[in-house]
Amino acid sequence: MSDRIIQTDNFSHYFGAIQTLKNINLEVRRNEILGIIGPAGSGKSTFLRALNRLNDLTYGSRIEGTIKIDGQDIYAPGTSIVELRRKLGMVFATPIPLPRSIYENVAFGAKMAGIKSKSELNELVTDCLVKTTLFEEVKDRLDSSATKLSGGQQQRLCIARILALKPEFILLDEPCSGLDPISTMKIEESLRQLKNEYTIILVTNNTKQAARVADRTAFFLNGELIEIGQTEKIFTTPADQRTNDYISGRFG
């Protein structure tokens, strides 16, 4: 099996007449954390949402080029979008627990996928909460509403919810943008552990976060991929002047 499990080929994306991504060519490797950085409006979130075809929900969304995951073109006709989305679990900037209990939130995806056995669900929910270090904090109130958790706990719950789908990839869209440093640290810690089992793509506004956790980092600007490479290289000796300007805080 190849190491390059996501491969995009001249991928462009449009919302109506506006081009949001321009000829993106990049690959994602197995069990790495790929950090994607760039200023607001650079297309990094759009790129992430193109991978699980969430942009399809927006009126006027259109693409050119291809994205291949495990060699399969995900925009090819006949692709099962539901299966694709289960394979690529997504975590959003604002944690969005569904208006249900903690337990139900984690079990939701698994139930959608048709798991009915109560003991199997219990085991799965516990396992996912343990992996995100949330279990100890919530084990006594699994039946209380998920919306009552703190922001950081909600975000870890959203990651746990993704894990219950047994995905191959975890897509994170600025997962720590609304969180305090301690919660952020906890999430980064669990990402480092999750890397052993999953391939992770982390879109972040916080360049330091990419420097801390990403193996490789990509820099997006105005819908273009400016540069991608090993994180140390991007942050120490970037090839492009614009990357250097961005990470040293000269704009963005």
Residue ranges binding another protein (CB under 8 A): 52, 54, 57, 59, 82-83, 85-86, 89-90, 92, 94, 96, 98-100, 108-109, 112-113, 158, 161-162, 165
Nearer to another protein, 67 or 221 (CB): 67
> Could you tell me which residues come within 8 angstroms of residue 153 by beta carbon, excluding any fewer than 6 positions away?
134, 137, 138, 183
CB 81 to another protein: min, Å:
9
Minimum CB separation of residue 238 from another protein in Å reads 32
Q: Is 167 exposed, middle or buried (0-12, 13-18, 19+ CB in 10 A)?
A: buried
Supply the minimum distance, in Å, between the C-beta of residue 51 and another protein. 11
Task: Give whichever of 75 and 235 is closer to another protein, judged by the CB atom.
Answer: 75
Q: Report in angstroms how near the CB of residue 221 gets to another protein at its nearest.
A: 25
Could you tell me the smallest distance in angstroms from the CB atom of residue 237 to another protein? Answer: 36
Q: Indicate the residue among 82 and 239 with the shorter CB distance to another protein.
A: 82
- Which own/partner pairs from 173-176 qualify as long-range (CB within 8 Å, at least 24 positions apart)? 173/45, 173/48, 173/49, 173/90, 173/91, 173/92, 173/93, 173/203, 174/45, 174/93, 174/203, 174/204, 174/205, 175/91, 175/92, 175/93, 175/202, 175/204, 176/204, 176/206, 176/209
Identify which of residues 144 and 230 has a Cβ nearer to another protein in the complex: 144
Closer by beta carbon to another protein, 1 or else 17: 17
Bridge partner list, 236: none
